[in-house]
Structure 1
Amino acid sequence: MSFDPTAVETITVDSYGTLVDPAAVERTLETHVDDEHVQSVSNQWRSRSLMYTMVSNFTDSYQPFYDMNRDALRVALAGHGVDLDSETIEEILASYHDLDPFEDVRSGLAAIADAGYDVFVVSNGNPDMLESMVETADLESVLSGTISADEIRTFKPDSEIYRHAAARTGTPIESIAHVAGPTFDVQGAMHAGMQGVWINRTGGIWDPFADEPNLTIKTFDELAVELGV
């Protein structure tokens, strides 16, 4: 189904890789890991942390995302024979609290918010991660609030987190457009009843088994145009 801007009352957005650029995390990793291993460690860390969140949804083994992210990093490092002490691992993890927004985020979300739309972050990140993200990226003026998976102890793409977001924003779920870079997040939102907007900055490939997103954009400025702002 194509995007219907007239049905949209509220915008929800993902956080890491959607609002803020996690590249700084990899740069921190580079100071402690040999160049030949950095990319592989980074990729395994990311994929394993996502795997942990999804497995936990089915095994009742919830932990806050920050803790799962730490465990995933330890495994990725060990798998490449990299031995770092706990203090260094915490230093790498702390880079998640100091990420810059993508260039289009402030201008695009400001236009959307100025047009009267409430914009909420819906994220797997735990509350202190989201608080520091919003503050560091200077997004307070364009956001109406943040909604964390920690509030209901389940992760995306479980439909419950999107339903929880609808309840928290006071918006019928079919009147929400959810914007995300990760394709599984867009799919989860659509499955729950939201309109799904894929922000594809890198020219990625949509998952062929899934229904097409309602809308594909490269920037939040494009979303503002699609909304008629």
Structure 2
Amino acid sequence: MSTIQVISLDMFQTLVNLNNRFLSMWRRILKDRYNASEARILQAKLIEQYNVVAKRMRENHQFVLTRDIYKECFDELLPSLGIPFNCFEAIDILVQEHRRAELYEETLDFLEFILKNYQVCIVSDTDEDMLPRFFEDYRIPLFSSEKYRSYKNDHDNSMFQEIIKYYDIEPARILHIGDTMSDVVGAQRAGIQACWINRQQASWTLEATPDYTIRNLNEIRDLL
């Protein structure tokens, strides 16, 4: 990786951990009927519904804020499961809990390591008011879906194109690290090297494979 000059980083499940925040969100929504097992099932259903809605938006070449995608999901999910909770209040809770997401144990040390040797940016498919703001302390530039009206793997791939334009270097000199298939596919379509952070030891199901795979951010330090 001696040619790398820029490292772009996904936010959620790469730098910060949402797992406990999802449980906290469902605790606030379910109230007295909350239990962790049910919350995990509901969260899986919510993510499944989110992927359906987001895919439809991409296929229709539409841009919709993350908040509005989740609003459609809650509109469908909560009544179908007999959960008497206001959808707008559920969205507000979801936004708050995203913003409270905690850093992974190795995140700050990793940031301090790469900031000494590379230009660094954050690239997130999430509305800006959902993002934890710790990166501002490091003056790390943010490329957000909200700002560019685009997601990482949509039809025009503009999120990653904007990174290339901003740094004015060859795409192959950029390394993107993220936890989703969109992180990998979107980056590679733009000619950017892609590192899949696979914290859950999931299986990769696409034909195109990541350039690198790691289980946590410490592993990329050895590669760099």
TM over 0.5, shorter chain: yes
Tell me the SS of whatever aligns to 2:78: helix
When the two structures are superposed, what TM-score results if normalisation uses the length of structure 1?
0.85
Q: Partners of 1:222 and 1:21 in 2: how far apart?
A: 17
The percent identity for this pair of structures is: 19
Partner of 1:32: 29
Partner of 1:179: 177
Determine which of 92, 104, 107 is the counterpart of 2:106: 104
Determine which of 199, 202, 220 is the counterpart of 1:223: 220
| 1:201, distance to aligned residue in structure 2 (A) | 1.4
When the two structures are superposed, what TM-score results if normalisation uses the length of structure 2?
0.86
Tell me the SS of whatever aligns to 2:29: coil
Question: 1:62-121: per-residue Cα shift (whole Å, max 9, x none)?
Answer: 221122123223322233221202464122432111111111111112101112x11111
- Partners of 2:153 and 2:185 within 8 A in 1: yes
- Partners of 2:12 and 2:18 within 8 A in 1: yes
- 1:222 alignment partner AA: E
Determine which of 164, 167, 190 is the counterpart of 1:166: 164
Partner of 1:114: 116
Gaps of 5+ in 2: none
Q: Partners of 1:101 and 1:79 in 2: how far apart?
A: 34
Gaps of 5+ in 1: none
Tell me the SS of whatever aligns to 2:201: coil
Partner of 1:201: 199
| 1:181, distance to aligned residue in structure 2 (A) | 0.8
**Aligned pairs for 1:60-209 within 5 A:** 60-86=61-87, 88-89=89-90, 90-115=92-117, 117-130=118-131, 133=132, 135=133, 138-142=134-138, 144-158=140-154, 159-207=157-205, 209=206
Partner of 1:15: 11
Give the 3 Å change call, closer, same or farther, for CA 7–46 of structure 1 in structure 2: same
Tell me the SS of whatever aligns to 1:32: helix
Question: 1:37-57: per-residue Cα shift (whole Å, max 9, x none)?
Answer: 322221121222233233212
State the number of aligned residues.
216
Q: Which moved more, 1:192-201 or 1:44-53?
A: 44-53
